[in-house]
Amino acid sequence: MSTTEWLSVAETVQKVATGELTAVRVVDNYLARITNVDRELGAYLVVDSGDARTHAQEIDRKRAANQPIGPLGGVPIALKDVLVTKGLATTAGSKILEGWIPPYDAAVVERLRAAGAIILGKVNCDEFAMGSSTERSAYKRTKNPWDTSRVPGGSSGGSSAAVAAGLCAASLGTDTGGSIRQPAAFCGVVGLKPTYGRVSRWGVVAFASSLDQVGPLTRTVRDAALLLEVIAGLDPRDSTSLDQPVPKYTDAITGDVNGLRVGIPHEYFNATIDDEVRAAIEKTKLALVERGAVLVDISLPNTAHALPAYYIVAPAEASSNLARYDGIRFGKAAAGAKNLMDLYMRSRGAGFGPEVKRRIMLGAYALRSGYYEAYYKKAQQIRTLIKRDFDTAFQHVDVVLTPTTPTAAFRFGSKATPLDMYLADIFTLSCNLAGIPGMSVPCGLTVDGLPIGAQLLGRPLDEATLIRTGAVIEAAVGLGARRPGGIS
Amino acid sequence: MLARLHLEPDEALRLQDELGKILDHFLALATVDTDGIPPMTHAVPMDLRLRDDEPGPSLPAAEALKGAPAREGDLFIVPAIIGGGRES
List the domain range (segments joined by +) for residue A161: 9-251
Q: What is the tens place of the pLDDT at every residue in A208-233?
A: 999 999 999 999 999 999 999 999 99
Would residue A164 count as lying in a domain? yes
Residue type present at position B14: R
Strand, helix or coil for residue B71: strand
Would residue A274 count as lying in a domain? no
Would residue A196 count as lying in a domain? yes
Task: Point out which residues pair with A298 in neighbouring strands.
Answer: A265
State how far the Cα of A391 lies from the Cα of A465, in Å rounded to an integer: 16
- Its sign, for the CA torsion A240, A241, A244, A249, is positive
Q: What is the tens place of the pLDDT at every residue in A291-316?
A: 999 999 999 999 999 999 999 999 99
Q: Output the DSSP codes for A63-94.
A: HHTT----TTTT-EEEEETTB-BTTB---TT-
Of the CA atoms within 13 Å of residue A200, those in its CB half-sphere come to: 23
State how far the Cα of B55 lies from the Cα of A397, in Å rounded to an integer: 47
Strands A190-193 vs A213-218: parallel, antiparallel or unpaired: antiparallel
CB environment B45-84: b (16+ within 10 A), e (fewer): eeeeeeeeeeeeeeeeeeeebebbbebeeeeeebbbeeee
Would residue A144 count as lying in a domain? yes
Would residue A376 count as lying in a domain? no
Would residue A261 count as lying in a domain? no
Q: What is the CATH number of the domain that holds A232?
A: 3.90.1300.10
With bands split at pLDDT 50, 70 and 90, how would you rate the model's confidence at B46? confident
Q: How many domains does chain A have?
A: 1
Nearest CA in chain B to A236: B51
First to last CA, chain B: 25
Best probe of the A interface among B1, B6, B35, by most A CBs < 10 A, is B6
Of B26, B44, B76, the CB nearest to A329: B76
Best probe of the A interface among B17, B40, B81, by most A CBs < 10 A, is B40
- Its sign, for the CA torsion A362, A367, A372, A377, is positive
Of A304, A339, A358, the CB nearest to B18: A358
Interface of B with A in 22-81 (CB under 8 A): 22-23, 25-26, 28-30, 32, 34, 37-44, 46, 48-51, 59, 63-64, 66-70, 76, 78-81
Q: Which is more confidently placed, A58 or B45? A: A58
Q: What is the tens place of the pLDDT at every residue in A171-182?
A: 999 999 999 999
Query: Does the pLDDT of residue B49 top 80, yes or no?
Result: no
Domain ranges of chain B: 1-31
Query: Does the pLDDT of residue B88 top 50, yes or no?
Result: no
Task: Point out which residues pair with A217 in neighbouring strands.
Answer: A171, A191
Closest CA to A384 of B14, B80, B43: B43
Would residue A176 count as lying in a domain? yes
Q: What is the tens place of the pLDDT at every residue in A100-152?
A: 999 999 999 999 999 999 999 999 999 999 999 999 999 999 999 999 999 99
Query: Does the pLDDT of residue B87 top 50, yes or no?
Result: no
Query: Does the pLDDT of residue A488 top 80, yes or no?
Result: no
First to last CA, chain A: 18
Query: What is the arithmetic mean of pLDDT over B32-39?
Result: 94
Would residue A382 count as lying in a domain? no
